[in-house]
Amino acid sequence: MSNTSSNSSPTVLLGGLAYVESPRWHEGRLWFAHWGTGEIVAVDLDGNSEVTGHGPAGLGWTIDWLPDGRLLVTGKELLRREPDGSMVQHVDLSGIAPLGCNDIVVDGRGNTYVNGSDFNFGGGPFMPGVIALVTPDGSVRQVADDIHFPNGMVVTPDNKTLIVTESFTARLTAFDIAQDGSLSNRRVWAELGQGGDGMCLDAEGAIWTPAFKDGKPGCNRVREGGEVLQRIELDQFCFACMLGGTDGQTLFMLIAEWRGVEHMAELFQSHTGQVLTARVAAPHAGRP
């Protein structure tokens, strides 16, 4: 396995944050979930930030958009922001993920995939997670199970493959997507060794994902099969990454100090969270 370090040193775009997750490039800005404050924040390439909405307080929620532009927010329930700014339940997922849902991705056809688990991250016995499908007509069904702590997800631009992070096995797992949105042909897309969280897909079919090397945090660019094409070393835990910018070649990395769930209260107050940027060669995958 090759392991090429990056020549592009990360720079700080935004700092003084609590925990930051779920980066999304949308309408010319990077949007993210600001865990600990319950805010949805958008920041431009000059570092000008704005609170654009609110999600639940605490950990474990993410954002994405429907094709018509309405915002979806995960958490204890899946919410949708209406044009008047009101938040309403998008669908009822309590029968599939009683403790709520974590990450979300909306494909090019309007199918929404959300993942979650009955596992209490702060303690209790481990429970594998699931992936649920919400179709554009509002129907809901489970399409995958036995996901070992489901985290970031991506769908390829042709809407034929879904890839999910299984953080507790440090693995990226792929599924074929059928015409009706069902998932099949489960397989290992890449073994990460250690790490895995929010990720993004580039135009050459490689994935940027948080990963460790020799116990040190960083962000790896990996191809299917697990070869590491590029690595950016970081000095704090990376929760997620996203490609964006005017040409799609800016990699945004969301980092913060991490010392375990038992220290969450104090770490929320320490504001070590940052949004970093680095220039990369391949742009984001985009949509057809």
**Each residue of 156-198: pLDDT tens digit?**
999 999 999 999 999 999 999 999 999 999 999 999 999 899 9
How far apart are the C-alpha atoms of 253 and 22, rounded to whole Å?
Answer: 10
Question: Which DSSP category does 263 fall into?
Answer: G
Lowest mean pLDDT among 72-81, 217-226, 258-267: 258-267
Which distant-in-sequence residues (6+ apart) come within 8 Å of 122 by Cβ? 261
Confidence of residue 27 (pLDDT cuts 50, 70, 90): very high
Domain 11-279 homologous superfamily, CATH: TolB, C-terminal domain (2.120.10.30)
How far apart are the C-alpha atoms of 180 and 66, rounded to whole Å?
Answer: 17
pLDDT per residue as tens digits for the range 109-164 = 999 999 987 666 556 677 889 999 999 999 999 999 999 999 999 999 999 999 99
- What's the pLDDT score for residue 7? 47
- Cα 285 to its chain centre, rounded Å, is 15
Among 222, 195, 227, 199, which Cα is nearest to 211's?
A: 195
Say which residue, 94 or 41, is predicted with more confidence.
41
pLDDT per residue as tens digits for the range 270-279 = 788 999 999 9
pLDDT per residue as tens digits for the range 227-256 = 999 999 999 999 999 999 999 999 999 999
Asked whether residue 14 carries a pLDDT value surpassing 60, the answer given is yes
Confidence of residue 12 (pLDDT cuts 50, 70, 90): very high
Say which residue, 234 or 261, is predicted with more confidence.
234
- What's the pLDDT score for residue 120? 64
How far apart are the C-alpha atoms of 231 and 7, rounded to whole Å?
Answer: 9
Instruction: Kindly report the average pLDDT of the chain as a whole number.
Output: 91
Asked whether residue 259 carries a pLDDT value surpassing 80, the answer given is no
The percentage of the chain sitting over the pLDDT mark of 70, rounded to a whole number, equals 90
What mean pLDDT is predicted for residues 47-76? 93
- Cα 39 to its chain centre, rounded Å, is 16
Question: Which DSSP category does 7 fall into?
Answer: S
Cα distances (Å, whole numbers) of residue 96 to 58, 133, 142: 21, 10, 7
DSSP string of 151-189, one letter each residue: EEEEE-TTS-EEEEEEGGGTEEEEEEE-TTS-EEEEEEE
Asked whether residue 3 carries a pLDDT value surpassing 50, the answer given is no
Query: Coil, strand, or helix at residue 107?
Result: coil
